[in-house]
Structure 1
Amino acid sequence: MPFLKPSGVTLTVNSSFSSSSKTRSSRLLPLPLSLVAIAGFLVACRTEPADKEGLIVASTDSRGVPESSFDSQSFNNVIGIAGGAGGAAAGPGSVGGKYGGRLRSLGYQGGGRPGLYGMSADGAGGEVYGELDLRGFIPTQADPRRTFAVDVDTAGYSNVRRILRDGGLPPVDAVRLEEMLNYFRYQDAPEQGSDPFGVTIELADCPWNPVHRLARVGISSQAIPQGYRQSANLVFLLDVSGSMSSADKLPLLKQSLHMLCQNLNGRDSVAIVVYAGAAGLVLPATSCANSDAILAALSRLQAGGSTAGAAGIQLAYAQAREHFIPGGINRVILATDGDFNVGISNRDELIKMIQKEAESGVSLTALGFGTGNLKDATLEQLADKGNGNYAYIDSISEARKVLVEELGATLETVAKDVKIQVTFDPTRILAHRLLGYENRMLAHADFEDDKKDAGEIGAGHGVTALFELVPVGVEMPGLEDREDDPDAAQGHFEGPGMMRVDLRYKRPAGGDESSLLTSFHAEDTGSVMMTATDDLRFAAAVAWFAEELRSSNPDPEVFATLRLLAASSLGEDSGGWRAGFLEMVDMAQGAAQRKLEEAEARVEEAESADAPSIQQNMHCTRPEVASDLLGLK
């Protein structure tokens, strides 16, 4: 293969598959060598010999380190942005950056794709998602630290899967990158000493910009075998209102809880509370040794009436307190499409009640169901304040994953108020950004404040965080010297290595005791993505996928590229979840291609109607960008 350079290769992809009457010209799609070497060649790709124009020769940066042959400028041209690393470095609100710099498209509600599933910004109807504050790169000299709470929710992934399966593209705010990452399990280090979890740190070049580095911080807790977990006092709080009548709501909910009950034991108890017009106790606390009674009560549930969630929650917590197990698992499991708008007069009071109950030892797990009415933002907030987790159930297989395979993680907490603070060496890292966790960010001072609520980790849970790092010596024009936190400049780095990871947490039965601190250091050994672990490569592909979904015009060619990386890093994948991710990428690629073709058709229609010349007057080289400017969505 004489055309392969030691550090990379450029492929020419023939993109003439558009159904538009105007055939799209071929584009240069530069790929890191790692993607090509480990995944083979794209079936529909045409490789070019080494002496062909467009092959990029490796160079040396200002540090004397060989750069990847991957050319970010050319790649950014392919995916429709300009400016290379400088564009990516642009701050929030700029139009030059795609990842790490751009915010959602202006002029849209709910994250950039109007009308999808009746989505509204004010929650008056349809699906509602909490707005994400998408952040850019932070200059390390101005602020060397990132501080955030852990997140073990997985709803963002399965909800995006549901939207893609329906043929659409998700709203930007529905794509919570950290939940996409944490949906999967990684082979991270086991717990060390007295700590309830272990920490893994690994680095390699960043696949979408290989002059940058990508660092993965993985936290894992040990799963507890079914026979060894604590006894559970569970209260099912179930929405049986009229909005829950469709097959993907109450019928799926009943199947899901049926599976859960079959995996409980005689030391556990279940109570069932419903709310639909008026709250009611369907089944008082019943030992799971009498599972027939529990299953019979579930089978009798029917949907009908309006939603009055507040009273139902009060009754559910009263049941949990009445049968409280000291030192055991005491949890309310709320299952709904998330609509609490009927019968609730004060949302703040509801949140305060859930927080107070969590402080007393009764936590809350939220399970979302259904399409078209999902109040995702409400469910996420309730689970966060209730010291629990939020999962979206889109299928019986997802129910099995959450309520059977990961039952211990769903029910039993091993560490609470878990906070992470990562500090980078400003003499080696010019800028950094945390991928995802937008609604989990903390002020740096909160890291040592034991009164500040954070996230919980369950038995067997894993938490992964990715950081995109810009090494000193890599140019980033336009990087602003800004601080996100008043105490940002007070941070300083203490080695060894080039980054330090500090974790604070409390033991679940420790009350208000001071948090425990554990620290880890990492050095960058210059590893490349081709030789990185399956976990780092797969996590990089998932993050890349989420970033592309968040862009205003997802590019089908980018999905094809990142699919190579994911396909090469499936690992053991005993549950088939990573293989399922490939199917999601295929669905996203198809949806993006349809959107692109529709935009091209609309541009042609505008041109044929004597619209101003897009190429000449707007200097646009991509039809979908032109359609944005013309308002042809």
Structure 2
Amino acid sequence: MSGTDAVLAYRDSTWPVAQGVIHGTVVDGETGDALVGATITIEERGIQTTTDSTGAFRFQGIAAGTVRVTAAMQGYVSSTKRARVSETSNVELQFRLMPQAKDAEFPHDETIQLDGEQRAADQRRMQMRRQIEVQGQRALVPSPSRYRPPTDREGYARIEETGFRRAAEAPLSTFSIDVDGAAYSNVRRFIRNGERPPVDAVRIEELLNYFPYDDPAPDARGDQPFAVSMETATAPWADAHTLLRIGIQGKEIPAAERPPSNLVFLLDVSGSMQSPDKLPLLKKAFRLLTEQMRPEDHISIVVYAGASGTVLEPTNGSNKEDILAALNDLQAGGSTAGQAGIQAAYAMAEAHFDPDGINRVILATDGDFNVGPSSDAEMTRLVEEKRETGVFLTVLGFGTGNLQDSEMEQMANHGNGSYHYIDSALEARKVLVSELGGTLQTIAKDVKLQVEFNPLHVGAYRLIGYENRRLNDEDFADDTKDAGELGAGHHVTALYELVPPGADSLAPSRGELKYQDREPSNAASSDEWLTLNLRYKRPDADSSQLISEALVPEPNANMSTELSFASAVAGFGMLLRDSEYSGDLSLARVRELAEAGRGDDPDGYRAGFISMLEDYRRMTGASDTESSP
């Protein structure tokens, strides 16, 4: 599949059979030059692609009906055209985007017959519309390129980048997995709004793990819940170094085999949730989730503002109308009594606990817990206590200006769940529809990795990212120590940068020791560079199981498509963080790696990353050779 065919696969199984084709080009309205990396969205179908090097795009298999096709690009006024899709139709759309000015015109809508005949033109002075029903009306979310909401009250935990360590002195590297993807969608939000993300908003492991990778899957008939793979190639930013990628792919579980769900929606309806990117988008997201529920699933809704309350008692998936009506009636107002709401939600989940099912609280908020006892430590202790009852926590962040990212991440980490930032209806569909199995169903908990490096082949190493997931070496075999969870179909990627022995190491030496022998063991003389040890528990188990795999790298291995893309994502994260370890990496080199690693990209996620790189280049004015944006 070409880059222009790539679309975000946020498809609803209830749509009719798709027939139509929409294709076209996007050019600069003043110069006529092709616009590369423009984002093309069909909101009604939840699909998206980007233009290629000629400014062209293409959608195939569009369901019949009237759709809006929107072309948008950083620095330009977006444009929307309406198209009617018939059974065997094909249309070519031409977009001419005008550069933005201070008093730029709002984009216009046109109605297009999909066979190419233009029926009518509706000139409307309005911004690109993302329509969300709110109390029978439509809330209009401004085009990200035109609206820059304040971010001065957002909270991010400080990240201290870890440097190189000498393998002879510290041969073990131990950390917990992390399947969160919140940092990526949050970084994307900043860039779309024309702002450089705060350094501490950039968690490289979450950028990496936002994307699926073509890694080996576990045997569907086997007992192991995931498969592990490793590969190496030359580091793109340091020719003398090696880049190691570790991939973990969770087992896919069909929806029909998913256990019954006992879900409690815990929804923040305080006054801070009034803006269109908060409660209105939240409603849209939970409607999508509700539509996925089966008759055996049950949903309850608890809300909190100045106080907490139950909006909906447990209701099965056969009564979606009741659930949707309860969501539609929500209104924002009042202060935020977060802890009272969480306590009420856990009480609801425990009262209707299903010992054979999925029991989970799904918290949706901008993260502002400002009334009552709500310190980070107290909230952490609360969710830690509740996870022991078998009720896990998923956290969804919404909105700008007030996002308490660090608090929400910690709550998800300690609640045996994942944290996602929802910046659009498309992201909501990704998390709550496309990846629903992984979001809801845990297949392995307390997953820890420990890599032992052979100093004969590795002089020094550096784990890229995972700064707040590091563990003490002794925690690896301690089953009382908490670690990350892996959901059905989830994937985990980790990158190490390896320095050969004898090279000028970036890792300081601890000096000579009098009472310890540093001579390598007999095993060190093998061709093994490292051994990966992995511990995990079954969701209902208290003791862990151990998996071990050694790595003998393929000599002079070429960089695979997957490693190329992962290195591009990590490299961009290092540039955003002004990392001292980015070497001679440039934004142009990151783009090359991403293009080389684009692959089939059936969901269009990698195309979206490439488009974001172009947005960032335009925003910062970075040159092709600049090493730091």
TM-score normalised over the length of structure 1? 0.71
Tell me, yes or no, if structure 1 residue 349 matches structure 2 residue 389.
Answer: no
Q: Which residue of structure 1 aligns with residue 163 of structure 2?
A: 136
- Identity of counterpart residues, as a percentage? 50
Distance 2:517 2:462 in 1: 14
Where 1:429 maps in the other structure, the secondary structure is coil
The answer to whether the 8 Å contact 1:145/1:488 transfers is: no
**Residues 156-171 of structure 1 aligned to structure 2 (within 5 Å):** 156-171=183-198
The answer to whether the 8 Å contact 2:150/2:400 transfers is: no
CA distance 1:556–1:309, change in 2 (3 Å): farther
The answer to whether the 8 Å contact 1:157/1:180 transfers is: yes
Q: Which residue of structure 2 aligns with residue 600 of structure 1?
A: none
Distance 1:152 1:445 in 2: 23
Shift of 1:556: 12
Q: Which residue of structure 2 aligns with residue 585 of structure 1?
A: 613
Of 550, 553, 575, the match for 2:577: 550
**Residues 254-403 of structure 1 aligned to structure 2 (within 5 Å):** 254-403=283-432
Q: Which residue of structure 2 aligns with residue 497 of structure 1?
A: 528
**Residues 100-179 of structure 1 aligned to structure 2 (within 5 Å):** 126-179=153-206
**Residues 484-633 of structure 1 aligned to structure 2 (within 5 Å):** 497-510=528-541, 512=542, 514-528=543-557, 531-551=558-578, 558-593=586-621
Tell me, yes or no, if structure 1 residue 188 matches structure 2 residue 215.
Answer: yes
CA distance 1:344–1:210, change in 2 (3 Å): same
Q: Which residue of structure 1 aligns with residue 439 of structure 2?
A: 410
Deviations 1:256-310 (A, max 9, x none): 1001110111110000000010101000111111000000000000111110001
Shift of 1:428: 1.0
Deviations 1:511-546 (A, max 9, x none): x2x210001111122334xx3221111101111010
Shift of 1:241: 0.7
Distance 1:400 1:414 in 2: 22
More helix by share: 1
Bigger Cα displacement from structure 2, 343-352 vs 543-552? 343-352
CA distance 1:345–1:188, change in 2 (3 Å): closer
The answer to whether the 8 Å contact 2:578/2:628 transfers is: no
Where 1:327 maps in the other structure, the secondary structure is coil
Q: Which residue of structure 2 aligns with residue 223 of structure 1?
A: 252
Distance 1:404 1:562 in 2: 30
Distance 2:585 2:620 in 1: 9
Distance 2:505 2:584 in 1: 27
The answer to whether the 8 Å contact 2:438/2:490 transfers is: yes
CA distance 1:536–1:261, change in 2 (3 Å): same
Distance 2:559 2:606 in 1: 17
Distance 2:573 2:231 in 1: 20
The residue type equivalent to 2:587 in the other structure is F
The answer to whether the 8 Å contact 1:199/1:217 transfers is: yes
Distance 1:561 1:375 in 2: 33
Q: Which residue of structure 1 aligns with residue 75 of structure 2?
A: none
Distance 2:205 2:517 in 1: 23
The residue type equivalent to 2:460 in the other structure is A
Shift of 1:583: 1.1
CA distance 1:482–1:501, change in 2 (3 Å): farther
Deviations 1:408-457 (A, max 9, x none): 00000000000000111101111000000000000000000000000000
The residue type equivalent to 1:241 in the other structure is S
- Structure 1: runs of 5+ lacking an equivalent: 1-41, 44-115, 120-124, 597-621, 626-633
The residue type equivalent to 1:262 in the other structure is E
The residue type equivalent to 2:595 in the other structure is A
Where 2:215 maps in the other structure, the secondary structure is coil
More strand by share: 2
CA distance 1:328–1:471, change in 2 (3 Å): same
Distance 1:571 1:381 in 2: 34
Where 2:420 maps in the other structure, the secondary structure is strand
Of 461, 469, 472, the match for 2:490: 461
Deviations 1:210-256 (A, max 9, x none): 21000000000111111111110000000011111111111001001
Bigger Cα displacement from structure 2, 348-357 vs 316-325? 348-357
Shift of 1:475: 2.3
Where 1:365 maps in the other structure, the secondary structure is strand
Q: Which residue of structure 1 aligns with residue 240 of structure 2?
A: 211
CA distance 1:308–1:466, change in 2 (3 Å): same
Q: How many residues align?
A: 474
CA distance 1:314–1:433, change in 2 (3 Å): same
Distance 1:556 1:213 in 2: 15
Distance 1:308 1:532 in 2: 51
Shift of 1:341: 2.0
Shift of 1:344: 2.7
Distance 1:458 1:400 in 2: 17
The residue type equivalent to 2:422 in the other structure is I
The alignment yields a C-alpha RMSD, in angstroms, of 2.7
Where 2:322 maps in the other structure, the secondary structure is helix
Where 1:432 maps in the other structure, the secondary structure is strand
Shift of 1:314: 0.7
Deviations 1:529-576 (A, max 9, x none): xx3221111101111010111007999981122101101111121110
Distance 2:306 2:510 in 1: 55
Shift of 1:624: 10
Distance 2:372 2:494 in 1: 39
CA distance 1:252–1:432, change in 2 (3 Å): same
The residue type equivalent to 2:574 in the other structure is E
Distance 1:466 1:414 in 2: 23
Distance 2:435 2:574 in 1: 27
